[in-house]
Amino acid sequence: MKKIKVYITVMAVSILALTSCKSKTTPFLGKSSIEDVIEAMTLEEKVALVVGTGLKFGDSIDKNSPFPIPNQPAPGSLAAKSKVYVSGAVGRTLEIPRLGVNTIEMVDGPAGVSFMSRSTAYPIGTALSSSWDVDLVKKIGECMGNETLEYGLDILLAPAINIHRNPLTGRNFEYFSEDPLLSGKMGAALINGIQSQGAGTSLKHFVANNQETNRIEVDAIISERALREIYLKGFEIAIKESDPWTLMASYNSVNGNLATENYDLLTKVAREDWGYEGIIMSDWEAGKDPVKQMKSGLNLLMPGPYQDTVLLQAVKDKKLDEKVLDENISWILNGAMKVQKFKDYKYSNKPNLEENASIARSAAAQGMVLLKNENEALPLSDKGQNLALFGNGSYETIVGGSGSGFVMRAGPTVHIIEGLKNQNFNVSKSLEDIYTAYISENTPPTGMIDMTRGRKKRAPEMLLDEKLIQTMANESDLAIITIARISGETTDRSIEGNFKLTEVELNNINNVSQAFHAKGKKVIVVLNIGGVIETASWKDLPDSILIAWQPGQEAGNSIADVLSGNVNPSGKLTASFPMKYEDDPSAKNFPGTPVDNPKQVIYEEGIYVGYRYYNTFGVETSYPFGFGLSYTNFSFGDLSLSNTEFKNELEVSITVTNEGELSGKEVVQLYVSAPTGNLEKPIQELKAFAKTKNLAPKESETITFKIDITSLTSFDSEASAWVAEAGQYIVKVGASSEDIKTEKTFNLGKDRVVQKVNKALVPQVKINELSAKQ
Ligand code: BGC
């Protein structure tokens, strides 16, 4: 009896202990504090949470595929047990249902939601930024965010905002500009748009992922000043102005440390200097040492899952303090509570693809840049004209770049020929037949994997024989020649045959121009490209040149909108087009040394990237940064400054008037020239920009900019501070970096130290940096 009584008492105490233990020790994310949730995790759960669950694609994977799928979780592991919610997502974090910890599912961008042929292919990043229209980019962000949300996904791996350091970089098409202000503002606009819908973003690739050649092993050696002013600046602006939910550290090293293992970069700069509060994660499989990554402030190792055992052992061996894991987990949980899975949002699987396609169409047209337009060759107001369409790209138009940035689109591509036919232009049927047969006979087969990454093989350009050109010049009223280029992840472009036009392309432009001009007929070149190409050697030949970029799935419709004049072009270049490749300031240090397998790339051009170099050193460009024509023309009135002495802020106003016959928009660019004090300065830097509304003929708009002290600062590496140096400043406003319309000066009375930051990312290799003082 006594025994039974004791037994009952023990039972009762245990049950009581268990229930009180349960209510006390089984916290739930969202209902309990993050600290309590972390405390309730097992060590196994912790290490599995700071790494992703592997590349589990779900149903979208062809189970009979002969290709091995990398990074699969070990059978029976926590990662293996975690669920795939949306098939086709490119990565996800561990869910721990007993603690209410939901997964975060991620999908590739940045030109749309990159999975399963169900989403919209928007214009590439360079095309969007060429609109110089932050409202439009935000709108595109809203569409992308809505597609992400309505397909049940949590994070769109976008935007990508690395600087266009060199024209050959294979992923420049994903990036916005050679200028950090423009990159940062565009990035912020896209992020604000996406996140307004309840989907998250990943600002990438942090930082200096400015080449694809050996991107995993290359060490970018960059001065502190160039890092702060050029390569980090865009990220700083985007983080401060839009608070992306995640930040993706890149593959490469920066000044001796891998970006994902770089305490200076991730903790000192992103967390401490900028106050970043989202999840910091790795690019896919980036980095070597998971323990160092954890200690550097990398919260999440994507896509996982293979690093968990190393981390577990490191904690057991006391090489990694469990508190470091906890700290990283707290950032992940904080982020997990923002996503739709946490909120149990009932997604529809039905975003409005029709509406999004029409928004993509109009955005693409807004980003097109008219480089040349002689003899009013454009717009093609007379739709009765017979058009001869040359170039493979007229029939197989390139929508976007390849690799993870490729979007399997919902709609079929509208090729240029279809876009023109849709607007009732007559296009030569016999030429169409010749090209269609040629392309189908000369296109090599493409494997499945390449197909899904947008690496469809293309037929080489056809050399046009003289007889055919002559017949076309007789039969048609006008020639359109499309030059097409595609590039993407893992490879940079070549100079010969890619940056430069091929012999065949040059011959075709030359021969078509001669034959058509001999008959008094015009020639238009459409550039269906993702980045800067050589133009100086052939630009005199055609009457008009239009950069259409890679315009997304509505390509042909958008191009026809601009050619026909339905849309007046208003895009401007976001990167300089050099006279020749060798003129580019980074050319002699790209892609690094040794050249066939670069381990190191020294950024000897320092802060003199793009127009900062061309303008300061007086090097002629083929087309300068900020350049782009319109079918109308604009005048700029006088500049008005609120003060000639700078106190805390300055207001700058300018009135722009449409002087032509057609309505149109102008991009107003504000550059500042700072005085040379202790620090040398580029001759001018973009500090603000705005796009006018669509101005009717004779209509004016007054644009007002506010300049605060941060626009006057340069980075002083000795002092680790942003400083504004005393002296005379010039505000310049114009229509391109080389077309300044009006300027005024103001004075800053005293030197000002505007912000002290951490000493960080100091190069360990001597840099023979370019200087304007030499
Ligand atoms: C790319 C990232 C991409 C990730 C996931 C990486 O190879 O560099 O931009 O988001 O893969 O697909």
Q: Is the CB of 89 under 6 A from ligand 1?
A: no
Strands 200-206 and 155-157: parallel
DSSP 83-95: ---STT-SEE---
Q: Is the CB of 284 under 6 A from ligand 1?
A: yes
Q: Which of the residues in the chain have pLDDT under 70?
A: 1-24, 60-68, 116-117, 410-411, 774
- pLDDT score, position 67: 64
Q: Is the CB of 90 under 6 A from ligand 1?
A: yes
**How far away, in angstroms, is 407 Cα from ligand 1 center?**
13
Q: Is the CB of 114 under 6 A from ligand 1?
A: no
Structure tokens at 178: 């050679």
- pLDDT score, position 63: 64
- pLDDT score, position 642: 98
**How far away, in angstroms, is 284 Cα from ligand 1 center?**
6
pLDDT in tens, 286-296: 999 999 999 99
Q: 3-state SS string over 138-180?
A: HHHHHHHHHHHHHCCCCEEECCECCCCCCCCCCCHHHCCCCCH
Q: 3-state SS string over 415-474?
A: CHHHHHHHCCCEECHHHHHHHHHHHHHHCCCCCHHHHHCCCCCCCCCCCCCHHHHHHHHH
**Residue 355, phi then psi, degrees to nearest 5:** -65, -40
Q: Which atom of ligand 1 is nearest to the CA of 405?
A: 9
E-only strand ranges, 236-278 = 246-249, 253-254, 257-258
Q: Is the CB of 567 under 6 A from ligand 1?
A: no
Question: Of all protein residues, whose CA lies closest to atom 5 belonging to ligand 1?
Answer: 284
> What is the 8-class DSSP label of residue 714?
E
Question: Of all protein residues, whose CA lies closest to atom 9 belonging to ligand 1?
Answer: 404
Pocket test for ligand 1, best of 283, 455, 492 (most atoms within 8 A of CB): 283
- pLDDT score, position 679: 97
pLDDT in tens, 431-473: 999 999 999 999 999 888 888 888 889 999 999 999 999 999 9
**How far away, in angstroms, is 286 Cα from ligand 1 center?**
10
- pLDDT score, position 55: 87
Q: Which atom of ligand 1 is nearest to the CA of 174?
A: 9
Proportion of the chain above pLDDT 70, given as a percent? 95
Question: Of all protein residues, whose CA lies closest to atom 11 belonging to ligand 1?
Answer: 284
Pocket test for ligand 1, best of 55, 115, 157, 206 (most atoms within 8 A of CB): 157
Catalytic residue positions? 283
- pLDDT score, position 58: 77
Question: Of all protein residues, whose CA lies closest to atom 12 belonging to ligand 1?
Answer: 404
Q: Which atom of ligand 1 is nearest to the CA of 490?
A: 7
CB 169 within 8 A of CB 531: yes
CB 329 within 8 A of CB 45: no
**How far away, in angstroms, is 700 Cα from ligand 1 center?**
45
Instruction: Return the biggest CA–CA distance within the chain.
Output: 118
**How far away, in angstroms, is 175 Cα from ligand 1 center?**
14
- pLDDT score, position 10: 42
Question: Among 109, 106, 110, which residue's Cα sits nearest to residue 52?
Answer: 106
**How far away, in angstroms, is 106 Cα from ligand 1 center?**
11
pTM of the predicted protein model: 0.96
Q: Is the CB of 404 under 6 A from ligand 1?
A: yes
Give the Cα separation of 691 and 131 in Å (integer): 8
The strand pairing partners of 483, in sequence order, are 527
Question: Of all protein residues, whose CA lies closest to atom 3 belonging to ligand 1?
Answer: 404
Query: 3-state class of 382 per DSSP?
Result: coil
**How far away, in angstroms, is 123 Cα from ligand 1 center?**
19
Q: Is the CB of 285 under 6 A from ligand 1?
A: no
Question: Of all protein residues, whose CA lies closest to atom 4 belonging to ligand 1?
Answer: 284
CB 151 within 8 A of CB 112: no
Q: Is the CB of 206 under 6 A from ligand 1?
A: no
**How far away, in angstroms, is 418 Cα from ligand 1 center?**
33
The strand pairing partners of 488, in sequence order, are 402, 491
Q: Which atom of ligand 1 is nearest to the CA of 157?
A: 10
- pLDDT score, position 61: 63
Residue environment code for 532-541, b if the CB has 16+ CB neighbours within 10 A, otherwise e: bbbbeebbeb
At 33, which amino acid appears?
S
Give the Cα separation of 189 and 552 in Å (integer): 19
CB 264 within 8 A of CB 222: no
CB 580 within 8 A of CB 534: yes
Crossing angle of helices 353-367/134-150, nearest 10°?
150
